[in-house]
Amino acid sequence: MEIEKRTNGFDYTEGNNAKSVSDAVNESNLDDPADQRTCLICGDRATGLHYGIISCEGCKGFFKRSICNKRVYRCSRDKNCEMSRKQRNRCQYCRLLKCLQMGMNRKAIREDGMPGGRNKSIGPVQITEEEIERIMSGQEFKEDAPEHTWGNSGDSDHSSPSNGASEGNQPSPASTLSSNRSVEMNGYTAALRDQYINTSMSTHYQLLPHLFSYATHSALLAPQPRSLYPQSQPLVLQLVAAEDLAPLATPMLIEDGYKVTQVELFALLCRLADELLFRQISWIKKLPFFCELSIEDYTCLLSSTWQELILLSCLTIYSAQIFGDLADVTAKYTPSDDELQGFSEDGMEVMERLIYLFRKFHQLKISNEEYACMKAINFLNQDIRGLSNISQLEQLNKRYWYVCQDYTEYKYPHQPKRFPEIMMCLPEIRCIAGKLVNVPLEQLPLLFKAVLHSCKSSPTSYRAGPSPCVTSSSGN
């Protein structure tokens, strides 16, 4: 039985406000001769000559952040991913690789990180495959790295710490790297925390922690008891207060012996998605920084991240119902042979990734406080197209990144790798949300049945106990 085609699976489209912001940006360049040209990287409409080649604003900013932040990416496929306006955020490795192959000149970026190129006359460059490999592997950045571990690079156009985990849909943990410089944990001082936690804006940013170096150095150090940074506690509590922790109201009880059909299960999934989406809208209005951004920006952010927010909440605060009640409903649904044989490769990949992510979250047992911080970090993605106040978004993102790090270190002193492991779950969530759109709607009931059955049957299933996020963490 075919299912009525609905936009994006859950009948949710971008708001007019988000489109109007994008249109306003485009209209401001109507007189630009480059308007009729396309970006050599992704094919989007070009806005001019950036770092030596014709490109769009998105690829220009991505290239600058990648070089300034000395990022090292990883491709989970064959290093030949499609680059288009819709697909360019799927693989950061292939996007940067194409920037270099097309001639983007890294030497045209200003050393102080400020807007504007170093030399407007600098054109495209041709570099050897060996040079490209040195950049992509981070070897060139290692040789140029200073001896000190923290410094002021003045990168006012750099992306936030979370961007490695939220800009691209790369599942590889290495995609979360934001810098290739090592970080000594004792260099993470109160003054640095204060810069992001206690102030709303700052002129220059410090270098960002390298997640893997962070974990390695932390593991070598004995746990040091310490108090929570003064500003972290109220910021975390404000985020938790914005969450609706009440059980989902959508009925998920089925009489014994009743056989659930594909259409009925699909309708239930849609009702759940509607309720979860409504809760995300209510959550935005309760955020402590709600007045700091425009309604247009919030509309744009929600339009791009709502699937990721719903997925994150289902794996954490609503996991008991999703992997309990909903799993019981899906167990009463028996797919036909045609449905089983027609299950797509995209559906199989999403299923495998969801099961992996379920097990990872169960292992970590994310607390309410950590969940609230993860959600805010994922939501405040300044790389989404059409945003107007990117600098403020970046500041907010960094603020909660450091708040989450401070809280996790304080609450789990004997788990030095916990914070990077939590942050590395975000690119996987983004990857799954991006791939879920490609799964045919009529296959969603079978997908959810397979995932929930596998997780419920696992010896480490959530059904063995309460959801890890139902109650706040009280310690180790």
Q: Which domains does the chain have, with CATH numbers?
A: 1-31+159-476 (1.10.565.10), 33-116+126-145 (3.30.50.10)
Residues 6+ apart with CB under 8 A from 467: 316, 317, 318, 319, 320
DSSP-assigned states of every residue in 346-398: HHHHHHHHHHHHHHHHHHHT--HHHHHHHHHHHH--TTSTT-S-HHHHHHHHH
Residues 6+ apart with CB under 8 A from 377: 162, 165, 166, 397, 400, 401, 404, 423, 426
What is the CB-side half-sphere exposure of residue 456 using CA atoms within 13 A?
18
> Residue 291 carries which DSSP code?
G
- For residues 416 and 223, the answer to whether their CB atoms sit within 8 Å is yes
Q: From CA 43, how far away is CA 55, in angstroms rounded?
A: 8
Buried residues in 394-420 as b, exposed as e (16+ CB within 10 A)? bbbbbbbbbbbbbbbbebbbebbbbbb
Residues 6+ apart with CB under 8 A from 339: 262, 442, 443, 446
The neighbouring-strand residues paired with 54 are 49
Residue 184 falls in which region: left (phi positive, over 0), alpha (psi -120 to 50) or beta: beta
Which residue matches tokens 């997925």?
311
What is the CB-side half-sphere exposure of residue 406 using CA atoms within 13 A?
24
| Closest to 239 in 3D by CA, of 399, 68, 33 | 399
The neighbouring-strand residues paired with 45 are 38
How distant, in Å, are the alpha carbons of 12, 51, 277, 346 from that of 350? 21, 37, 21, 6
Per-residue pLDDT of the chain (476 residues; tens, 9 = 90+): 444 443 333 333 333 433 433 343 344 343 444 345 788 898 888 888 888 888 888 898 889 888 888 888 888 888 888 898 888 888 889 999 999 988 888 888 865 544 454 444 455 777 888 888 888 888 877 665 443 332 333 333 333 343 433 333 333 333 333 333 233 333 333 443 444 444 433 332 233 333 434 444 444 454 555 677 888 889 999 999 999 999 999 988 888 889 999 999 999 999 999 999 999 999 999 999 999 999 999 999 999 999 999 999 999 999 999 999 999 999 999 999 988 888 988 889 999 999 999 999 999 999 999 999 999 999 998 888 889 988 899 999 999 999 999 999 999 999 989 999 999 999 999 999 989 988 999 999 999 999 999 887 764 444 333 444 444 444 44
Which pair of structure tokens corresponds to residue 16?
């007019």
Q: From CA 132, how far away is CA 384, in angstroms rounded?
A: 27
CA angle 227, 392, 212 (to 5 degrees): 50
pLDDT the model gives residue 1: 43
What are the CB-based long-range contacts (under 8 Å, 24+) for 48-56? 50/104, 50/117, 51/104, 51/105, 51/106, 51/108, 51/109, 51/117, 51/122, 52/103, 52/104, 52/105, 52/108, 52/122, 52/123, 52/124, 52/125, 53/102, 53/103, 53/104, 53/124, 55/104, 56/85
CA angle 396, 402, 406 (to 5 degrees): 145
Q: From CA 188, how far away is CA 202, in angstroms rounded?
A: 18
pLDDT the model gives residue 207: 31
Residues 6+ apart with CB under 8 A from 463: 323, 324, 327, 456
For 188, the 3-state DSSP assignment is coil
Q: From CA 282, how far away is CA 56, in angstroms rounded?
A: 34
Residues 6+ apart with CB under 8 A from 127: 100
| Closest to 173 in 3D by CA, of 57, 305, 73, 249 | 73
- For residues 56 and 41, the answer to whether their CB atoms sit within 8 Å is yes
Q: Give, rounded to a whole angstrom, the gap between the first and last alpha carbons of the chain.
A: 50
Q: From CA 379, how far away is CA 120, in angstroms rounded?
A: 35
For 404, the 3-state DSSP assignment is helix
| Closest to 210 in 3D by CA, of 142, 145, 155, 161 | 161
Which pair of structure tokens corresponds to residue 221?
């150090």
